[in-house]
Chain A
């Protein structure tokens, strides 16, 4: 199991709170992992801060994925796994998107590597990313209807 330094993780929360107390809506500590819940409107600014603040220095966006909490609302939870290579630390940013809204700001401007990760989420969940340079389906064929990884999409497919 990955040992994580929770003492440092709290330092991340402190840094972010010092920058903008609005950015940290909630902090979830579970199994040694820290998740910082960020309001959707502040996602890009918080991500930029995580990357640019020398005390945080999260230079690698390891992963981005979506969890569909259907039938709860807001149903989509976006999880971004950040890594600071020089500081040897991991953190997760999370934001929620409702079904009616379905749009979140793209992080490609912060980490260009978010490009395909966001396209994958768009493809499989139908969440759109505002400001993404090339938002097209990536895994499924262009004519595919629906978003197969949503919980209300049957596993055996639609007949």
Chain B
């Protein structure tokens, strides 16, 4: 507690605990706010409430078993986490994934991006006092989750992307279902924009709030929509394409205002770009073809082969008991998650279990910039800033 000199005399600051149980902290984030009236003097984020030691647990599992843990980090982007992890293992192995599987991965990950942005938009709108948008967003998200359920059997923790490809063949009738969604969605995004973009309260709460210069954001290692809203068009899908993103035509939306409103506009524009990618991916996915790489001993053999070929049965048994051993070395892969650069670093010592698995989680690193955004601002803006950083605490704490 410190004393502050003001025009009318000396005042004392007060320390306020925001969170860890607070609806606008999106999970269990605690921010220690030192307040001078309504103004934030200092802000210290306190995290770790959801730390479950996922990176440590990965070291005690075989490479394939660890996939299910990755789902549970960023629970709004499980497919993206699967993808980052599998790409890193595949890089470590030098494994080439069939094009068809790559396109399926791209399509699902982009649908996931839309669903994640929908949750962001809905919850952020409710933080700012616009109740109805949440209901609309969750209505559309439900359609995406139904698609995931058809593909993987799971709505959220899909574990659908596997080392060497994807888990299952796409289900019958998937094209019609995805197409229905694509036809419906543009009009729905227009609906959200009609409710929010020109809304005076929305603009009043977001415009000019939480400004950081692009130089500061890069120095603080911020990535994702937060960085792109400041004019830096850094997107891993374009800069370091993976999983055949180089075949797709899409734009990287940027703004230059670098405030909460610009971050909102960037995310909405990204949803539209993702729809474009999903449409292209749908055309690229062939009706039949392999969904897994031909890699005996790494990718589980087909069920029919196990019944007719002895080697296949042996491989099946070995993969699920002992696992496989990538050669010693390290690999780092970064993918563009809805929140920014999601990196996966794996070090192998040549044993069937990873020596080290590390996730460069965008939520964790983007949250670092929060004090810089809100210090000197109003306490109400804290809520807007936490919202537009778009943190998922499961990923912050891992």
Contact = CB atoms under 8 A, between A and B. Distances in A.
Nearest to A64: B360
Nearest to B97: A1
A31 B48 contact: no
A67 interface: yes
A53 to B, nearest CB: 16
Interface in B329-366: 329-334, 341, 343, 345, 347, 355-356, 358, 360, 364-365
B368 A30 contact: no
Contact of A62 (B47, B220, B355, B360): B360
A81 interface: yes
Interface residue SS majority, chain B:
mixed
Contacts of B87: 1-2
A79 interface: yes
A88 to B, nearest CB: 5
Contact of A67 (B60, B355, B360, B368): B355
B218 A155 contact: no
Contacts of B365: 113, 116-117
Interface string A17-50: 0000000000000111101000000000000000
Interface in A93-149: 111-117, 120, 124, 137-141, 148-149
B241 interface: yes
A91 to B, nearest CB: 10
B90 interface: yes
A2 B242 contact: yes
B120 to A, nearest CB: 22
A63 interface: yes
A65 to B, nearest CB: 4
Contact of A79 (B57, B218, B329, B345): B345
A111 B218 CA distance: 9
Interface string B225-267: 0000000101000011110000000000000000000000000
A15 interface: no
Contact of A138 (B48, B55, B358): B48
A30 B330 contact: yes
Contact of B219 (A4, A111, A116, A151): A111
A139 B55 CA distance: 12
Interface in A1-18: 1-4
B60 A155 contact: yes
Given A2-B91, A30-B330, A155-B57, A88 B397 contact: no
A65 B358 contact: yes
Given A111-B219, A113-B219, A79 B242 contact: no
B53 interface: yes
A62 B358 contact: no
A133 B195 CA distance: 44
Given A1-B87, A63-B343, A81-B345, A31 B218 contact: no
A85 B232 contact: yes
B343 A62 contact: yes
Nearest to B220: A113
A140 B48 CA distance: 6
A97 B52 CA distance: 27
Interface of A: 1-4, 30-33, 35, 59-63, 65-69, 79, 81, 85, 88, 90, 92, 111-117, 120, 124, 137-141, 148-149, 151, 153, 155
Identify the 9 closest CB pairs spanning chains A and B, nearest first.
A113-B221, A63-B360, A139-B48, A65-B358, A155-B60, A139-B51, A67-B356, A113-B220, A30-B329
21 contacts: A1-B87, A1-B90, A1-B333, A2-B241, A30-B330, A33-B330, A59-B219, A60-B221, A63-B343, A65-B345, A68-B356, A85-B232, A113-B222, A116-B368, A139-B47, A139-B48, A139-B398, A140-B48, A151-B59, A151-B355, A155-B57
Given A2-B241, A30-B329, A115-B368, 5 more contacts: A31-B329, A62-B343, A67-B355, A111-B221, A149-B56
